[in-house]
Chains A and B, each alone.
Chain A
Amino acid sequence: GPKVLQIPSHQIIDMGQMVTLNCDPVSNHLYFYWYKQILGQQMEFLVNFYNGKVMEKSKLFKDQFSVERPDGSYFTLKIQPTALEDSAVYFCASSFRTGGNQDTQYFGPGTRLLVL
């Protein structure tokens, strides 16, 4: 099926540092998402992004979080500064549209973030 790529696969950083997680969505997809999964739990929605704008964000999307996709390059999630509770696996997803049979969200392999 469609492939979403994420770079890096793992990241270890010190608390207070900045981190940028990169996502390469499916090439013709227009809607992009970030989800957070704490070890052993289900994925939870963070944010979605369309046409250069945040469309919706959850309460997990703290002020320290930001997303962008400059000039059609990677869709990024930036955390600045990081906190211990940000340690989790972050999954990027993308979909072609939000309605009908082309709105299935496809997920990347995740970035495992460990904040020390």
Chain B
Amino acid sequence: AQKVTQTQTSISVMEKTTVTMDCVYETQDSSYFLFWYKQTASGEIVFLIRQDSYKKENATVGHYSLNFQKPKSSIGLIITATQIEDSAVYFCAMREAFRSSNTDKVVFGTGTRLQVSP
């Protein structure tokens, strides 16, 4: 069964610094997809970045990047040059490959609340 674990409940940083949020996952599938979403104060859920398990290169989008350590089943999110508006709850999520698991549901972690201060 799929499982996603985020152990950090909240992180506080000063703006313009770099923050890393941890996430570990469990899956029996050899092919899977990892996602990070953020939930803003208004409740909106925004897709940020993804990593496909077969890709060795860490994904990067804007000031978001991933630290994918497949042997450790770990997918950390790195935010560089943080801004006040990055304050939100960040969810790590995983989906297994449909052809092998016959499901395309996304399983979410419990989230990490990021507070960026001036």
Contact = CB atoms under 8 A, between A and B. Distances in A.
Interface residues of B, number: 26
B7 to A, nearest CB: 14
Interface of A: 1, 31, 33, 35, 41-45, 48, 55-56, 58, 89, 91, 93, 95, 98-99, 101, 103-110, 112
A41 B105 contact: no
Contact of B103 (A44, A56, A93): A56
Nearest to B49: A104
A42 B109 contact: yes
B84 interface: no
B42 interface: yes
Contacts of A44: 108
10 contacts: A41-B110, A42-B110, A45-B105, A48-B105, A99-B97, A104-B47, A104-B50, A107-B37, A107-B47, A110-B44
B62 interface: no
B43 A109 contact: yes
Interface of B: 33, 35, 37, 42-47, 50, 52, 91, 95, 97-99, 102-111
Given A42-B110, A48-B104, A56-B105, A1 B46 contact: yes
A74 B61 CA distance: 32
Contacts of B33: 103
Contacts of B98: 98-99
B104 A31 contact: yes
Contacts of B91: 42-43
B44 A105 contact: no
A44 B37 CA distance: 14
7 smallest A-B Cβ distances: which pairs? A45-B105, A107-B45, A42-B108, A98-B104, A98-B98, A109-B44, A42-B110
B114 to A, nearest CB: 16
A109 B91 CA distance: 15
A36 B63 CA distance: 29
Nearest to B31: A99
A56 B46 CA distance: 24
Nearest to A45: B105
A106 B47 contact: yes
